[in-house]
Amino acid sequence: MDWSPFILTFKLACITTLLLGLISIPVAYWLAYGKSKFRTITEAILGMPLVLPPTVIGFYLLLAFGNQSLLGGWLNNTLGLHLAFSFSGLVIGSMIYSFPFMVYPLVSGFRNIPLSFRESGRVLGKSELNIFYHIILPNSKQALLTAAILSFAHTIGEFGVVLMIGGNIPNETRVASIAIYDYVESLNYSMANRYSLFLLGVTFFILLSVYFVNRKRNG
């Protein structure tokens, strides 16, 4: 059995979850507590991957990453980045596709922190950054964990977006879901079944252990 699609899948899920976490935390903070009138429209835009078919997102990303587009051309000529049909392109595509799965639980978690906690921090002479780091973030562990699990699991289960922008290049963009599809296409049901069962078992084990740890911590 060729393990490379699985290694690639989990590598993609780990990088996507990590990068998405770093970007989403400040975005979620702004959405939860900001006063800008642009918050509603931003929330609507960020939620689009929830309702749009993945192929639509994949298609537009493919156009954007291509050398013919303004962005793709600039990335290629100035930074030497080829995002279409590359692992980097997959990471960016996955991040966009999984954005709501990371941001929404965080926004909800931040909004659940009692206002008196933040106000107490201010009265105690702490800066907003200090309050965020010492009060909001540690009291949002549940939301952080949920957001990370959802993004990780969602990235593992991706198909439409990765197929559109990544194609099926072994060791580069051929993630497990693409490999399974490829085996089914070539009527190799036995391999498709082994890949599927392995993916099913691993993802179930990850989710189970995370929820188990979480339940134990909450008593």
Q: How far is the CB of 106 from another protein (least distance, A)?
A: 17
Nearer to another protein, 113 or 164 (CB): 113
Residues lying near another protein in the complex (CB under 8 A): 114, 116-117, 119-120, 122-127, 134-135, 138-139
Q: Report how far residue 92's alpha carbon sits from residue 90's, in angstroms, rounded to the nearest whole number.
A: 5
Q: Taking the CA atoms of 106, 108, 112 and 117 in sequence, report the sign of the dihedral they define.
A: positive
Tell me if 57 sits within 8 A of 161, measured CB to CB: yes
Q: How far is the CB of 32 from another protein (least distance, A)?
A: 18
Q: How far is the CB of 192 from another protein (least distance, A)?
A: 46
Nearer to another protein, 39 or 126 (CB): 126
Nearer to another protein, 80 or 114 (CB): 114
Q: How far is the CB of 123 from another protein (least distance, A)?
A: 4
| Residues 6 or more apart whose Cβ sits within 8 Å of residue 180 | 192, 195, 196, 199
Q: Widest CA span of the chain, in angstroms?
A: 67
Tell me if 98 sits within 8 A of 178, measured CB to CB: no
Nearer to another protein, 119 or 185 (CB): 119
